[in-house]
Amino acid sequence: MNPDLNTAALPDYGWSSFIATPLHELLAFIHGIVGNWGVAIIILTLIVRGLMYPLTKAQYTSMAKMRMLQPKIQAMRERFGDDRQRQSQEMMALYKKEKVNPLGGCLPLLIQMPIFIALYTVLNLSTELRNAPFFGWIQNLSAQDPYYVLPILMGITMFFIQKNNPSTVTDPMQKKIMTFMPVIFTVFFLYFPAGLVLYWLTSNIVTLIQQTIIFRKLEQQGLHSRKKTK
């Protein structure tokens, strides 16, 4: 029996145990097949993102419909002015009529964050992953990338995700913040364990592929255009 699957030796993951423990067991199972923790993290990411595809598709569909409704929403804001209550009521009625969930775009991220935190805990506390190599310069998945290659690649993929994704943000300050988000995340991830950055990088690559597939379908429905909106 693979010693990596011995759950009796699992560390105490505290409040994140309900996600971290099964995540560790799944990682150990995959590692028992492929023999490399880095490859196991990549496969785990593909499984998670594959299961989340329906939610991701719903997210982009909801965002596309929200963009289509922007002229009506702007007209409501101008019509009702400072009457926030009436404005909110009319917007909710519009969302209900058009079957749009204004929070639909947040769900995939909200689901991924607990997995991200749990994986961070596993990388820090699991003895099997300490000094576990991936390939090349990545000889310890529980430590930061010594040459910062993975965080930089993560930032580049995040830039292209943002570039490909039309935004409904109109506030100039918010637009400026969104523009710098890939840079901010890159700096933030410089000091994260390489295994965690590998998870996020793989997830970003999957997102780019899923964007291409989903946007093509939305174009056929008249809900998306390759032309960038100003």
- The list of the chain residues with pLDDT below 70 reads 1-10, 103-105, 107, 166-171, 224-230
Burial class (CB in 10 A: 0-12, 13-18, 19+), 91: middle
Residue spans per domain, the chain = 14-220
Residue type, position 174, single letter: Q
| pLDDT at res. 147 | 96
Distance from C-alpha of 131 to C-alpha of 128, rounded to nearest angstrom: 8
| pLDDT at res. 88 | 82
Token pair 């506030």 is found at: 171
| pLDDT at res. 182 | 92
Contact (Cβ atoms closer than 8 angstroms) between residue 176 and residue 169: no
| pLDDT at res. 90 | 82
